[in-house]
């Protein structure tokens, strides 16, 4: 697993999955909480992250950027923590978890057990102690959310950008006009660094690039 420090407060843990694609998990080390953005493929996948967070003895807030299996299978390791997602994310997982797990079981690393988000929202949640903003940005899926670290000016967009620089526009589960609105919201925000579920670390200019390709 590759570990990369991003600015002052973030660490990105990256792993190539079956020589097919890269998967990134971000930890924001806030003053009051640590924020874990997505939980990967199961217990073995995120073991190094769990061990690091346990050493710090700071309360962990988990954020699921969307319901897709590669972002939620480690949730159960944080079942006693706050797990935040959009309300649509919980609704989908409540019905489809078992089906999704069976369909993609070859990707499970270690163990996984059904564990749903326990705090959901529709528009936005803000943590003023750490200046962390979590907000609804549909696009790649109907439940996509994004996370802005206002201190470091780092934006995590989940899978709302494509998996590679060459294929920068993601597959969409909504109309392009809905996704465009999410991109335009990004443009209004103060950030200069973009982290996503699969692509390399990029700058804010990627938003205009995608808009021009739509």
Closest C-alpha to 182, from 143, 130, 150, 125: 143
Instruction: Please state, rounded to an integer, the average pLDDT across all residues of the chain.
Output: 97
Which residue range is the domain that position 101 belongs to?
2-213
Please determine, for residue 57, whether its predicted confidence score (pLDDT) is greater than 90.
no
* pLDDT level of residue 66 (50, 70, 90 thresholds): very high
Give the N- to C-terminal CA distance of the chain in Å, as an integer: 34
pLDDT at site 80: 95
Instruction: Give Cβ neighbours of residue 5 (< 8 Å, ≥ 6 apart).
Output: 11
The model's pTM: 0.97
Distance CA 131, CA 124 (A): 13
Please determine, for residue 146, whether its predicted confidence score (pLDDT) is greater than 90.
yes
* pLDDT level of residue 71 (50, 70, 90 thresholds): very high
The pLDDT tens digits for 107-127 are: 999 999 999 999 999 999 999
Please determine, for residue 18, whether its predicted confidence score (pLDDT) is greater than 90.
no
Q: Report the DSSP beta bridge partners of residue 23.
A: 15
Please determine, for residue 58, whether its predicted confidence score (pLDDT) is greater than 90.
yes
* pLDDT level of residue 84 (50, 70, 90 thresholds): very high
pLDDT at site 46: 95
What's the token pair of residue 145?
A: 């959310």
Q: What's the domain count of the chain?
A: 1
What percent of the chain is predicted at pLDDT more than 90?
A: 98
What's the token pair of residue 69?
A: 């299996």
The pLDDT tens digits for 153-178 are: 999 999 999 999 999 999 999 999 99
The pLDDT tens digits for 176-193 are: 999 999 999 999 999 999
CATH number at residue 110: 3.60.15.10
* pLDDT level of residue 82 (50, 70, 90 thresholds): very high
Query: CA 161, 166, 169, 171 torsion: positive or negative?
Result: negative
Instruction: Give Cβ neighbours of residue 82 (< 8 Å, ≥ 6 apart).
Output: 61, 62, 118, 119
What percent of the chain is predicted at pLDDT more than 70?
A: 100
């Amino acid at each position: 697993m590759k570990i990369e420090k991003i600015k002052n407060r973030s660490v990105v843990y990256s792993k190539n999955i079956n020589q097919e694609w890269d998967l990134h998990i971000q930890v924001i080390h806030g003053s009051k909480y640590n924020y874990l953005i997505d939980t990967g493929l199961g217990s073995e996948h995120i073991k190094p992250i769990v061990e690091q967070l346990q050493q710090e003895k700071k309360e962990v807030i988990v954020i699921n950027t969307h319901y897709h299996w590669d972002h939620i299978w480690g949730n159960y390791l944080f079942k006693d923590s706050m797990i935040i997602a959009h309300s649509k994310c919980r609704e989908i997982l409540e019905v489809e978890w078992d089906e999704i797990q069976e369909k993609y079981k070859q990707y499970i690393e270690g163990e996984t057990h059904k564990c749903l988000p326990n705090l959901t929202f529709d528009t936005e949640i803000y943590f003023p102690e750490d200046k962390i903003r979590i907000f609804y940005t549909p696009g790649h899926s109907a439940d996509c959310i994004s996370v802005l670290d206002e201190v470091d000016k780092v934006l995590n967009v989940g899978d709302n950008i494509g998996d590679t620089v060459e294929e920068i526009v993601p597959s969409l589960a909504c109309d392009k006009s809905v996704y465009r609105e999410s991109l335009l919201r990004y443009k209004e925000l103060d950030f200069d660094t973009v982290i996503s579920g699969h692509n390399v670390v990029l700058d804010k200019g990627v938003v205009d690039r995608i808009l021009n390709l739509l």
